[in-house]
Amino acid sequence: MRVGIGYDVHRLSEGRSLMLGGVRFEHPLGLAGHSDADVLLHAIMDAVLGAAALGDIGHHFPPGDPAYKDCSSLELLGRVRSLVEAQGWRIANVDSTVIAEEPKLAPRVAEMRAAIGNACGLPVERVSVKATTNEGLGFVGRDEGIAALAVALLDSVNAGQR
């Protein structure tokens, strides 16, 4: 088994859709970035890649590459899953936290868990999405951005052979 941790942050910006955990939120601001800037999925991808010692999402999906402009992070998470599976690993579970003042995520957490589980090949009971605020402190507290943390556990497809 291997464990990886991921962290990501994106600035809030006008003229962008707000995607979190593969779910579009109605919000006046979205997250700035080359892809759809889904900060939660980016943290999860980095956790999965880190557990497999495969680098980070910037290595696999360079931010300057036009192929990834406005790309769905759910699609990228599916590609990350394929990368780790090609190395003999499978995602066992994901635990994540979104740090944001707004929007309130609780009403949509079930949708987010389902989208993440589908992309990772996991039943929803192996996907955790939590939300917290920064209590008005720092860039998150001033509603300038959103951050996310994630931990992923991988196990060997051929358990006992590694």
Domain presence at residue 19? yes
Query: How far is 41 from 21, CA to CA, in rounded Å?
Result: 6
Query: How far is 20 from 108, CA to CA, in rounded Å?
Result: 10
Domain presence at residue 162? no
Q: How many domains does the chain have?
A: 1
The per-residue pLDDT for 161 is 47
Domain presence at residue 103? yes
The per-residue pLDDT for 162 is 41
What single-letter DSSP state applies at residue 97?
Answer: E
* Residue in 55, 50, 91, 57 with CA at minimum distance from that of residue 71: 57
Query: How far is 30 from 38, CA to CA, in rounded Å?
Result: 9
The per-residue pLDDT for 63 is 85
Domain presence at residue 49? yes
Domain presence at residue 133? yes
Determine the structural domain holding residue 12 and report its residue range: 2-156
Domain presence at residue 89? yes
1, amino acid identity: M
Per-10-residue mean pLDDT, the chain, length 162 = 97 94 95 93 98 95 86 95 96 98 95 98 98 92 95 84 44
Domain presence at residue 70? yes
The per-residue pLDDT for 68 is 84
The per-residue pLDDT for 69 is 87
Question: Tokens for 127?
Answer: 């996907």
What would you report as the CA-atom Rg of the chain, rounded to the nearest whole angstrom?
15
CATH number of domain containing 92: 3.30.1330.50
The per-residue pLDDT for 159 is 56
Domain presence at residue 161? no
